[in-house]
Amino acid sequence: MTVRPLPWLRPVLYALLVGLAILYLLPVYVLVVTSMKSFAEVNLYRMWDWPARFSLESFVHAWAGSETQGFRGLSHNFWNSVRLGVPATLLSALLGSLNGYVLSKWKFRAADTLFALLLFGMFIPYQSILIPLVQVLRRIGLYGSILGLIFTHVVYGIPITTLIFRNYYATVPGELVEAAKIDGAGILGIYRYVVFPISLPAFAVVMIWQFTSIWNDFLFGVIITPRPAVQPIMVALNNLAGSYIVEWNVQMAGALLAALPTVLVYVVLGRYFMRGLLAGSLKG
């Protein structure tokens, strides 16, 4: 026991924690309960009531859309986000790993300065690059496509992925690399046979981080892909939620569907998720 609270404080402590936990879970309660009510039962003025019977109608509408009401479901956009997130994440991780390797084990003059300049790129408000970005993507024919989004996410993912790998490789003893050099291995050989095999934890952190940020991104999606058929999930969810013809329970079900992949990642791989978060504060 570290700082011993007085004995009577103990129940107060637990009461506080449970109370706060309930407050944090309230939105989840509404989200889940609402999306599981049947249309007949959905009522804004009874939104805290437990459903009389469970129904998946809301999910079906949010996923597949409704032709009679004339709105698109999220299914298509969900797969768009998968087709965007997976390759962009893999590419980002590979680039970050190579950059981190060079910047930690093959330092050249001005490497630290360049690294600082690189890092600044992860904090900039993307508004300050959007106008030329759209022009350039148009020019090279990537505007309005998932490929354009992959490209954008990979480019602006370079700073954070490089940071995480550089910090990770800084903990790898230099002797390991030196020994491999003496054995006659070159830079690529050392990466392939010494560094890459022990990079798994860093790859996990970076891939989870990148996938989550790409999945959750809205700004790049809404700017680069104006066509609904190409849009990633968060842009589609925002459209769904902003439409007056879509009932609020369908919006809630849509929000739940859109949140599912990253929440699952968090539940299963929470430990790595945390490390990525803390790396974001430069203290990796």
Site string for other proteins, 30-59 (x = CB under 8 A): xx--x---------xx-xx-----------
Closer residue to other proteins, CB minimum distance, 71 or 266: 266
Mapping DSSP onto H, E and C, the string for the chain reads CCCCCCCCHHHHHHHHHHHHHHHHHHHHHHHHHHHCCCCCCCCHHHCCCCCCCCCCHHHHHHHHEECCCCEECCHHHHHHHHHHHHHHHHHHHHHHHHHHHHHHHCCCCCHHHHHHHHHHCCCCCCHHHHHHHHHHHHHCCCCCCHHHHHHHHHHHHHHHHHHHHHHHHHCCCHHHHHHHHHCCCCHHHHHHHHHHHHCHHHHHHHHHHHHHHHHHCCHHHHHHCCCCCCCCHHHHHHHHHHCCCCCHHHHHHHHHHHHHHHHHHHHHHHHHHHHHHHHCCCCC
21 binds other proteins (CB under 8 A): yes
In the bound complex, what is the minimum distance in angstroms from residue 107's beta carbon to other proteins?
Answer: 5
Closer residue to other proteins, CB minimum distance, 25 or 198: 25
Residues numbered 68-97 forming contacts with other proteins, rule: CB under 8 A:
95
Distance between CA 117 and CA 187 in Å, rounded?
Answer: 24
In the bound complex, what is the minimum distance in angstroms from residue 262's beta carbon to other proteins?
Answer: 5
Tell which one of 61, 84, 89, 101 touches other proteins (CB under 8 A).
101
2 binds other proteins (CB under 8 A): yes
In the bound complex, what is the minimum distance in angstroms from residue 122's beta carbon to other proteins?
Answer: 9
Residues numbered 172-191 forming contacts with other proteins, rule: CB under 8 A:
178, 181, 184, 186-188
Please state the length of the chain. 284
Distance between CA 100 and CA 96 in Å, rounded?
Answer: 6
Tell which one of 78, 143, 156, 168 touches other proteins (CB under 8 A).
156
In the bound complex, what is the minimum distance in angstroms from residue 94's beta carbon to other proteins?
Answer: 11
The count of chain residues that interact with other proteins, using the rule CB under 8 A, is 97
Closer residue to other proteins, CB minimum distance, 44 or 200: 44
Tell which one of 120, 197, 244, 245 touches other proteins (CB under 8 A).
120
Residues numbered 196-255 forming contacts with other proteins, rule: CB under 8 A:
212, 215-219, 222-223, 234, 237-238, 241, 248, 251-252, 254-255
Tell which one of 33, 60, 86, 130 touches other proteins (CB under 8 A).
130
106 binds other proteins (CB under 8 A): yes
